[in-house]
Structure 1
Amino acid sequence: MTDPDLSAAFGHPEDRATASAARPRDRISLRDHVLNVEIGAFQEERGSQQRLRFDIVCEVSGTGAPAHDDVDRILSYDTLVDAVDAALAEERLNLLETLAERIAGLLLQEPRAERVFVRIEKLDRGPYALGVEIVRSAGPERERGLAAPDMPRPVVAHLSNDAIADPRLPQWLDTLEEGGAPVVLTVTLPETPAPVAGASMPQRRIDLLALDQNAWVLAARDPRCLVVGSRTEIEHAIRQGRMLVWAPSKIVLDSPERPDAGPREPERLAAFLADTLGATHRVGIGADMPGGTRLETEAR
């Protein structure tokens, strides 16, 4: 094999970086960083941790001048470790590919980072290591110095089933929008009884799916509503100025910082989301909203 990428295919990412570099670059690396992580798409991988090994190489631009032994003028090794920790803290993931993408994306936000190699391997799935490796480069948006704005703080409104069915719903949503803050809507369990599983874990999933379904019922009542589930989707929708409805199963099941409340306590889930997003105001429309005001729906 004469192709340098092929000849280094099973080498360390440091060898891959060297073999595929169009021009010499400085590099910093993280080798053999092993963490216990809950990850995986299979049911047997849920509720338990497995060892992941992280190897990262980040190619950096030169400063054109000596660093004068000044840590503030370099890309610190801690940045690599912090990127791994931040990607793991966002939410539970099914795929190593997604985790690798998030780590690379975080590192490429650093002004000096030009190209990143990320290799992640599962060490406990057999008498071998199973893994992925990706290579990503800084894009033109980063090179122009464009940065994502700070996420606006939303209003979080928790709606009862009566409020969802009420013909005045569009007017209430209009009122929520008038304040100028993004609007995040949450729902309670539907009135139709959920199937009874007879075991706690399946019942929890059934109830969460019922909440997700009710989110879609609300979204069908007003074209402004966008159903979202993950923290990434929520933040993106808020930055886009969309009115969103939270389908909670993804975060409740997969986030490392899971709420204490379960699906049978939807008002507490709503309060958890409001706390997580730093809501400026919280309101219950025909429902209780911890720490918020309540708008009654009985009057016609």
Structure 2
Amino acid sequence: MTTETELAFAHPEARSVATADRPLDRLSLRNHLAEVEIGAFQSERNVVQRLQFNVVVEIAPLPNDLGDDVDRILSYDRLTEAIAHELAAERFNLLETLCERVADRILLQPQAERVFVRIEKLDRGPGALGVEIVRKKGQAVSEVEPSSALSPVVAFLSEKAMQSPNLTSWIDQLAAGAAPIVFCVAPDNTVAQGADTQAARWRMALLGGELAAWRLADKDPRCVVVDNRTELDWAFKNGQISVWAPTKIILDTPEGSAVTVESGPELARWFAAFIGAKEVLIFGGPQEQDGWPTTMPPRIINLEQREL
């Protein structure tokens, strides 16, 4: 039988099981290390210490129709991002305060019901010195605002732009900016040639979009093909240039069947609104401008015949 003393020093996962009032699924992060300046003593000023984080999140039951879909779960990245965000926000004197901030930020996630956070200093003595707290939804102590990620920019590339000798220069200049970049490439409409029905042409246009995305990634290794919202969020926060492969998001979105995927500009406009982009950059000829309401956000800039 597990004793209270054994539980006191057990991993938070064991403690969460022992103290559960109802069975919940659990997501855990074990032995996550970070090097930071922290501490209330003068001897801890201007000194970097190793912190070890162990986190267990009890989550709401997964939907029966999960379908192996990464966008419908609480991602491990949310745990490490919560830690990184709080460590970057300010210098902490107390582990207790840091524990509270990390726990409260994790509980902002809709799936999170209860969280165990243990943080230990590894360099203050022969052993590990630490604090562990337990918090549940609605029990937030600190005032935590959701993190405000930089608003991304969607860069639309027409077939003409994909063949431009300026393509690498455009990517260089976009990469040098502060905003996250995601490319939307005009679909390869040759895929749908010969299709007899609108349904077939629509699905083939999605395949043409996938093909075009991989062609851009093949041209420039900095451009990474992504197909789901979880990957996009990670890319925006980590400075990765993304190329959108449209099939998954379009098919998973209730209004997706109404999107005119055969038109590259229309598809890019819908995608920009979907991810909250602050602007759309157009690389291509004037024919791609048809039907774009320049008074409607996101702001549309025509970059035809010039570089950034």
TM-score, length of structure 2 as denominator length? 0.53
Assess if the C-alpha contact under 8 Å between 2:153 and 2:280 holds in 1: yes
2-structure distance, mates of 1:159, 1:99: 26
Matched, 1:170 2:168: yes
1-structure distance, mates of 2:244, 2:163: 17
**Seq. identity, %:** 30
Assess if the C-alpha contact under 8 Å between 1:28 and 1:57 holds in 2: no
Q: CA deviation at 1:269?
A: 1.6
Q: Secondary structure at the match of 1:262?
A: coil
2:21 corresponding residue in structure 1: 27
Give the aligned residue type for 1:178.
A
Q: 2:237 aligns with which of 218, 239, 245?
A: 239
Ranges in structure 2 where 5+ consecutive residues have no aligned partner: 1-13, 28-57, 83-101, 120-131, 134-141, 295-299
Q: CA deviation at 1:284?
A: 0.5
Residue deviations 1:140-197 (CA, integer Å, cap 9, x gap): 68x7999995432111111111111111101112222333111111011226353433
> Within 5 A, what are the aligned runs for 1:182-221?
182-190=180-188, 192=190, 194-221=192-219
Q: Secondary structure at the match of 2:256?
A: coil
Assess if the C-alpha contact under 8 Å between 1:164 and 1:221 holds in 2: no
Assess if the C-alpha contact under 8 Å between 2:222 and 2:240 holds in 1: yes
Residue deviations 1:61-83 (CA, integer Å, cap 9, x gap): xxxxxxxxxxxxxxxxxx97xx5
2-structure distance, mates of 1:223, 1:184: 14
RMSD: 4.5
Matched, 1:111 2:111: no
1:94 corresponding residue in structure 2: 67
2-structure distance, mates of 1:99, 1:189: 24
2-structure distance, mates of 1:103, 1:238: 15
1:53 corresponding residue in structure 2: none
Residue deviations 1:40-98 (CA, integer Å, cap 9, x gap): xxxxxxxxxxxxxxxx5789xxxxxxxxxxxxxxxxxxx97xx57xx87xxx9533x86
Q: 1:283 to 1:265 in 2, by over 3 A?
A: same
2-structure distance, mates of 1:22, 1:281: 45
Give the aligned residue type for 2:219.
R
Q: Secondary structure at the match of 1:27?
A: coil
Give the aligned residue type for 1:170.
T
2:301 corresponding residue in structure 1: 293
Q: CA deviation at 1:280?
A: 2.0
1:227 corresponding residue in structure 2: 225
Give the aligned residue type for 1:25.
T
* Matched residues, number: 206
Give the aligned residue type for 1:293.
I
2:281 corresponding residue in structure 1: 283
Give the aligned residue type for 2:19.
R
